Amino acid sequence: MSSAVEPPPFTSSGPTYRVGIVGASGYTGAEMMRLLAGHPNFELEVMTGDSKAGTPIADLYPSLALAYRGRRFEAFIPEIVDGLDVVFCGLPHGVSMGVIPEIIDSVGVVVDLGSDFRLKDPLLYPNWYGAEHSAPEYLPEAAYGLPELFRSDIAEARLIAATGCNAATATLTLAPLLAARLIAPDGIVINLITGVSGAGRPPKENTTFCTVDENVTAYGLLTHRHTPEIEQALSVSTGHDVSVLFTPHLAPLNRGILASCYGRPTNRPGTPPDTREVLEAMADYYRDEPFVVVDERSPSTKAVTGSNAVHLTGRVDPRTGLVLGIGVLDNLMKGASGMAVQCANIAVGLPETTGLATVGVYP
């Protein structure tokens, strides 16, 4: 059993949109530059990186040398993006909320890859992020950037809060199970394995080679900041009041996420769900989605590396009765830059598959 919709091939026809990246020197910025170098309708004009201002792009990322020959990262000032059609923000948490109010009225669409505008309730920010939100007036209008669940909101938005990589994996795995009422909305357990690039480019003690190599670590125990994002996305999209226990694990991978999600079957008349019903529910839910594959095969992170694809499967354990959903994606692609490009395509009216690959890099 599998489900996927083959996207149309890339085409250079149609309008050209002027694009900028604020915070282009990090991993998500570099991945965005890679994608935009092959995007037929987006022309990348501005690439800022304050800590690397003046640095040739090829010096920091030799992989981009041919695409951006002679170009350098620029220092950010709000006026640098005036008149652009799309601006991507690849800034650390807490920075976007100060930058976006300065630019949003002078550009077409802003797609924020950070977490500053994902949560609708401003009171959640001090609880989960440790600081007050400095621009709460923009939270109601920010569309949550997960196209498979909130496509119509994205199409009408001028501010899009692209979904985080952890939340995207867990939400896409669990949404069909909740929508089909196969699992209860409370007591859901999410165990997630993530690659090191999710922590960003700047060096940290817990992401050095000697710390990460041959090591797996659980972190953010009980308090990980993506918990309310997952609960909000699932609650809004399925109409249930969802609660989850989310535990991420850092593994020695460059990129990739695998989420194993466990739920109790709902109390319903008749027989409990079985594996066939779970797989059919997933396949039906994503039948028309160009980037989602549902299959009996257990998905692997390497299968999606470099692509905007999500691979899902599901099982029911007849011994315990628990329902299991598994999802994988590339955290820098469908979990960040690929997701942001998909959202931007929708916002400007392009086919959402434009410039995005469904085929991973292997080996």
Reduced to 3 states (helix: H, G, I; strand: E, B; else coil), residue 135 is coil
- CA separation for the pair 126, 128 (Å, rounded): 6
CATH of domain 166-331: 3.30.360.10
Asked whether this chain's domains 2-163+334-348 and 166-331 adopt the same fold, the reply is no
Question: Which residue is associated with the tokens 């959640």?
Answer: 124
199: nearest Cα among 254, 260, 245:
254
Topology at the third CATH level for domain 2-163+334-348: Rossmann fold (3.40.50)
Buried (b) or exposed (e) across 290-309, using 16+ Cβ within 10 A? bbbbbbeeebebbbbbbbbb
**Kind of pairing, strands 188-194 and 257-263?**
antiparallel
> Residue 71's pLDDT is what?
97
> Residue 248's pLDDT is what?
97
Per-residue pLDDT of the chain (363 residues; tens, 9 = 90+): 556 555 554 555 789 999 999 999 999 999 999 999 999 999 999 999 988 999 999 999 999 999 999 999 999 999 999 999 999 999 999 999 999 999 999 999 999 999 999 999 999 999 999 999 999 999 999 999 999 999 999 999 999 999 999 999 999 999 999 999 999 999 999 999 999 887 766 767 777 887 888 899 999 999 999 999 999 999 999 999 999 999 999 999 999 999 999 999 998 777 789 999 999 999 999 999 999 999 999 999 999 999 999 999 999 999 999 999 999 999 999 999 999 999 999 999 999 999 999 999 988
Q: What is the DSSP letter of 341?
A: H
User: Which residue in the list 89, 165, 261, 343 is annotated as catalytic?
Assistant: 165
Domain boundaries, the chain: 2-163+334-348, 166-331
89 is catalytic: no
Q: Write out the two tokens for 162.
A: 């692209």
